[in-house]
Amino acid sequence: GDSVTQMEGPVTLSEEAFLTINCTYTATGYPSLFWYVQYPGEGLQLLLKATKADDKGSNKGFEATYRKETTSFHLEKGSVQVSDSAVYFCALAGGSYIPTFGRGTSLIVHP
Amino acid sequence: DAGITQSPRYKITETGRQVTLMCHQTWSHSYMFWYRQDLGHGLRLIYYSAAADITDKGEVPDGYVVSRSKTENFPLTLESATRSQTSVYFCASSDGIGRSGNTIYFGEGSWLTVV
């Protein structure tokens, strides 16, 4: 079945550091890929998505590129802020199936 | 635009009691979901519904019951609460599933403690 693997956290960075959170997936066909973010005490919300190979999703300075050849959708940001501290979930939606979520990666940004 | 709302937000109950978590969405989305979030397990799907009167099991359905008599409501009932059901529960909705790329919209969560 479809699956998503995320790097384990927590990821701890200083403000203005470069962020990468790795996500790889297993799926048949050509799924859509997502990154969701969960701020403390809140539900998840969509951060960005890509629906076909080589698409780049971007939002709030975050980017991720759909790489079919490496089955990856890594999340990057050039300069993180304290306000980016949250849990980040990679997800995929393939075929006609319910979306599959990764386990989440906690990001802690220190001033 | 209220979006998706859950109630109660916080609940403490005793083992063996029946508890119902409510979920209401204002978008008329066809799909609705219930997830639980636990440390070390991420998000796990409990039940989902493709439309009114259509529900199906997810990954961890045991001990839970759902119904969907109206498109906008999707209550989750714990028939006889156990300590292992202490968790944060998220309701969510979406216009569709699959590779069409539909966004899933989440409620703010219901924190349930079973003592």
pLDDT tens-place string over residues B57-96: 999 999 999 999 999 999 999 999 999 999 999 999 999 8
Q: Which of B104, B106, B111 best tests the A interface by mutation, with the highest count of A CBs <10 A?
A: B104
CA–CA separation, A43 vs B90, rounded Å? 7
Chain A hits for B99, CB-CB cut-off 8 Å, are 29-32, 51, 93-95
Contact between chains at B101 and A95 (C-beta distance less than 8 A): no
Contact between chains at A98 and B48 (C-beta distance less than 8 A): yes
CA–CA separation, B48 vs B92, rounded Å? 9
pLDDT digits (tens, 9 = 90+) for B94-110: 998 887 889 999 999 99
Q: By the CB < 8 Å criterion, does B2 face chain A?
A: no
Of B33, B42, B101, which has the smallest distance from its Cβ to A32's Cβ? Answer: B101
pLDDT digits (tens, 9 = 90+) for A2-56: 899 998 889 999 999 999 999 999 998 889 999 999 999 999 999 999 999 999 9
CB atoms within 10 A of CB A82: 11
Which residue shows structure tokens 């790097």?
A7
